[in-house]
Structure 1
Amino acid sequence: MSTTTSAAPQTRSGDGKITYTPVDGRLLDVEDLHVEFHTEDGVAKAINGVSFHLDQGESLAILGESGSGKSVTAQAIMGILDMPPAKIPEGAIKYCGLDLLTMPDDQRRWVRGAEIAMIFQDALSSLNPVFPVGWQIAEMFRQHRGMNKSDSLAQAVRLMERVSIPAAKDRVKAYPHQFSGGMRQRIMIAMAIALDPAVLIADEPTTALDVTVQAQIMALLQELQQERQMGLILITHDLGVVADVADRIAVMYAGRLVETANVYDLYAKPAHPYTRGLLESIPRLDQKGQTLAAIGGLPPNLLRIPPGCAFNPRCRMAQDICRTDRPELREVAPGRKSACHFAEEVLDA
């Protein structure tokens, strides 16, 4: 992976706020990121040397089961990990060439929300139940842009209309519990895009929504991403959700990336047994009435990650080398990487 060069912040004309310029179209570089959680039982290594990049206008999906490190990666980028117990002993997270991990706190706070925003998976618990939704959206403009109450509320109505909330002018004073799950998620999206961020992170944005609403939310995210040329990081465990949205996919397991590829190549021919297992577990119309394939076993305990390849206890292709030597993420085809000793065999299977 190529690394970014240094970049200097620039001043926005008119409002005096700081903005940042991508380096050769590169918005975000995560380089050899490690995250640990220090607990009474020991050190849980949640992220073990993860590296990836995000370009301007690109959609990157990060996939994996619960506990693979997807959300922890997003929280590290946003700077919202509880430290302690979390600790980042190694790595860099560069936004437009500037390392967020060494950035002064006041500058990092500006980046969070104004430049990099996040949609959380549980809208009901993420929204404040005692304030109207319009007030919560408007707060973004009051805090970051210095707008007065009436102007910020007008912006809130505009955003609610943009994310297709019916009768936004009438519902701007409604409370979170008065909206359906899909409408609450639209409100979260409105809050996230309020300040026109360059990077939007969506952490399991369709959790607990029915299939029809899931499709509507994903279509809205894709539309906004293309309209605003944002870089979009979509975190999910569901390969079916990202098929029409992602440009590239990064698959995580036990805190490491095990495969990266563009969406078409990965769906057509996975290069890692774990990715193949995830694909085989997706229901298909041409397999009606057949038993779904499942990946046997459970993800490893992060306090005791097995030696060698962490996936080896569950892998049908595992051999002796898989139990002793940890495979590095390496290029196995143009634009494709896999952390498997037998990636070529998986591709040809």
Structure 2
Amino acid sequence: MPETTNELLLEVDDLHVEFRTSDGLASVLNGVSYSVHAGETLAVLGESGSGKSVTAQTVMGILDTPPGVITGGSIRYRGEDLLTATGERRRDLRGAEIAMIFQDALSALNPVFTVGFQIEEQLRVRQGLSKKDARRRAVELLDLVRIPAAERRIRDYPHQFSGGMRQRAMIAMSLALDPDLLIADEPTTALDVTVQAQILDLLAEIQRERRMGLILITHDLGVVAEVADRIAVMYAGRIVEQADVHELFSSPGHPYTAALMDALPRLDLRGKRLETIKGLPPSLLDIPPGCPFHPRCERAEQRCSEERPSLHRLGFGRVSACHFAEEVVGNRG
């Protein structure tokens, strides 16, 4: 893992976002807080609909408004509050300071332009490079992400790339302006296991070389064990646990995290039925009172359905939103 520094890049504090829809008011983010330092990898985990991508879109300033409305909190990049910054300032930061890899490369890439043109365009517009210099730099970027025969493939269209190659092209585009913070939203979705490992190894290597902060958004605990420094687990628009990767894997401090880990396939469980989490995540239009996880939690008591747990500190840099966090850790430790 890359060595982190004390340089704080991003600080998300008590972020609230609502979606005002025809079906009612959806509380999509309910007080999300996390931070990322230079050289650090923060993995943000959770089931679909937990708010992982909406948090990233809000950080990037690309949240669809409407229906999304930011109703509270702050986002600071190097101490600057992004939510009070002008649209022009956000555009200056986007790509050059904070970049994002989207989860569906086929949809994110424009099908009517070559991959090379799409990388070169931002180099010409944002850095003022000539067409020749932009082409040279684009080839270098495709080489960096290990696309074979980059000088030839740069003239290809997205549909001519495999899924893994398209994802590599997306990474090249995100790195074009040398950002200090990279958000990777499900970068291995729909890729086979071998390609997943290659993409994650590539991101880790580039991060080490460039000293970037990295936010890795995923729903899969298995893919982050080797690359993350810290993990933030989200449920129903809120972070329910945040811990060092080793602490979280050895002794999760929230029943939801423990249930996710119990559902991981393991070689020692060969031939046995996998554990599952009963029920479904709650509708964000109607989040249950108390702890949102209590209808699915095997440890739930009356208190859990009535009182929303605050983030409880379990140690340095470790928190859990569970009334019985110490017991959960103790039972797993």
* TM-score (structure 1 length as normaliser): 0.93
* RMSD between superposed Cα atoms in Å: 0.9
User: How many angstroms apart in 2 are the aligned matches of 1:38 and 1:157?
Assistant: 44
User: How many angstroms apart in 1 are the aligned matches of 2:259 and 2:69?
Assistant: 32
Matched, 1:214 2:201: no
**What is the aligned partner in structure 1 of residue 111 from structure 2?**
129
Q: What does the per-residue CA deviation read over 1:262-281, in whole Å, with 9 as the maximum and x for residues that have no partner?
A: 00000000000000000011
The answer to whether the 8 Å contact 2:163/2:191 transfers is yes
What SS is found at the alignment partner of 1:114? coil
Q: Which AA in structure 2 matches 1:126?
A: A
User: How many angstroms apart in 2 are the aligned matches of 1:39 and 1:342?
Assistant: 35
> Which of 1 and 2 has higher RCO (CA within 8 Å, sep 6+)?
2
**What is the aligned partner in structure 2 of residue 138 from structure 1?**
120
Matches within 5 A, 1:313-324: 313-324=295-306
Q: Which AA in structure 1 matches 2:13?
A: E
**What is the aligned partner in structure 2 of residue 25 from structure 1?**
7
Matches within 5 A, 1:8-23: none
Q: Which AA in structure 2 matches 1:34?
A: H
Match of 1:189 among 153, 161, 171: 171
What SS is found at the alignment partner of 2:179? coil
User: How many angstroms apart in 2 are the aligned matches of 1:305 and 1:276?
Assistant: 21
What SS is found at the alignment partner of 1:220? helix
Aligned length: 327
**What is the aligned partner in structure 2 of residue 167 from structure 1?**
149
Gaps of 5+ in 2: none
Paired-residue identity, %: 64
What SS is found at the alignment partner of 1:200? strand
Q: Which AA in structure 2 matches 1:118?
A: M
Matched, 1:227 2:209: yes
What SS is found at the alignment partner of 1:300? coil
**What is the aligned partner in structure 1 of residue 47 from structure 2?**
65
Residue 294 of structure 1: how far off its partner (Å): 0.4
Q: What does the per-residue CA deviation read over 1:284-334, in whole Å, with 9 as the maximum and x for residues that have no partner?
A: 011111110000000000010000000000000000000000001120233
Matched, 1:75 2:71: no
Residue 24 of structure 1: how far off its partner (Å): 5.1
Q: Which AA in structure 1 matches 2:163?
A: G
User: How many angstroms apart in 2 are the aligned matches of 1:92 and 1:294?
Assistant: 36
User: How many angstroms apart in 2 are the aligned matches of 1:27 and 1:336?
Assistant: 19
The answer to whether the 8 Å contact 2:116/2:154 transfers is yes
Gaps of 5+ in 1: 1-22
Q: Which AA in structure 2 matches 1:68?
A: S
**What is the aligned partner in structure 1 of residue 186 from structure 2?**
204
What SS is found at the alignment partner of 1:113? coil
Bigger shift: residues 139-148 or 210-219: 139-148
The runs of at least 4 aligned residues of structure 1 exceeding 4 Å deviation read none
**What is the aligned partner in structure 1 of residue 313 from structure 2?**
331
Matches within 5 A, 1:189-338: 189-338=171-320
